[in-house]
């Protein structure tokens, strides 16, 4: 869903986009061997999690399980990357934009709270080979509102 590709490949760096829209962390992990390991990258940039967390309003009784499973999947990604010697950049989960009217009956403030929980969790993973790119300052204006020019929808 990142509409602008990274800078064009240079003699020193080649950029390959393997992102697929609407995937959960489970689906991302299922593609790891093919889309990451097989490419032998030196670095990997990943933003994942909102598609897991957006299920919380549908299954509020499973909120804690959804969060814990997502944490486990992120840890698995970190471990797999470390095993292959890949420098990993975890992008924090984007803050939510305004919830549209049609979605409000099926929405919960638990999603935003869960994004905050996950972003704090990501910070605990910082190490020599894992960096966290915190995006709130880039995506929110001074009042805390989502910058419309960066918003595709309420989640992206």
Query: What are the tokens at 98?
Result: 């305004």
Any idea what DSSP says for residue 145?
A: -
pLDDT of residue 3: 47
Rounded Cα distance, 114 and 61, in Å: 14
Residue 131, helix vs strand vs coil: strand
pLDDT of residue 53: 96
pTM equals: 0.86
Q: Are 117 and 70 in contact (CB under 8 A)?
A: no
pLDDT of residue 154: 52
Beta bridge partners of 146: 140
- Please identify every stretch of the chain with a pLDDT value under 70, giving residue numbers as ranges: 1-10, 140, 144-156
């Amino acid at each position: 869903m990142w509409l602008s590709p990274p800078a064009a490949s240079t003699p020193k760096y080649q950029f390959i986009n393997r992102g697929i829209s609407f995937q959960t962390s489970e689906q991302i992990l299922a593609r790891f061997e093919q889309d990451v390991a097989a490419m032998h990258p030196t670095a990997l940039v990943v933003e994942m999690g909102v598609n897991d967390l957006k299920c919380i309003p549908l299954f509020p009784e499973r909120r804690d399980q959804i969060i814990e499973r997502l944490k486990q999947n992120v840890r698995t990604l970190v471990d797999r990357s470390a095993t292959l010697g890949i420098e990993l950049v975890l992008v924090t989960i984007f803050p939510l934009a305004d919830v549209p009217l049609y979605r409000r009956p099926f929405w919960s403030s638990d999603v935003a709270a869960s994004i905050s929980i996950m972003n704090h969790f990501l910070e605990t993973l910082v190490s020599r080979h894992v960096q966290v790119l915190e995006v709130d300052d880039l995506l929110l204006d001074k009042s805390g509102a989502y910058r419309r020019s960066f918003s595709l929808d309420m989640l992206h």
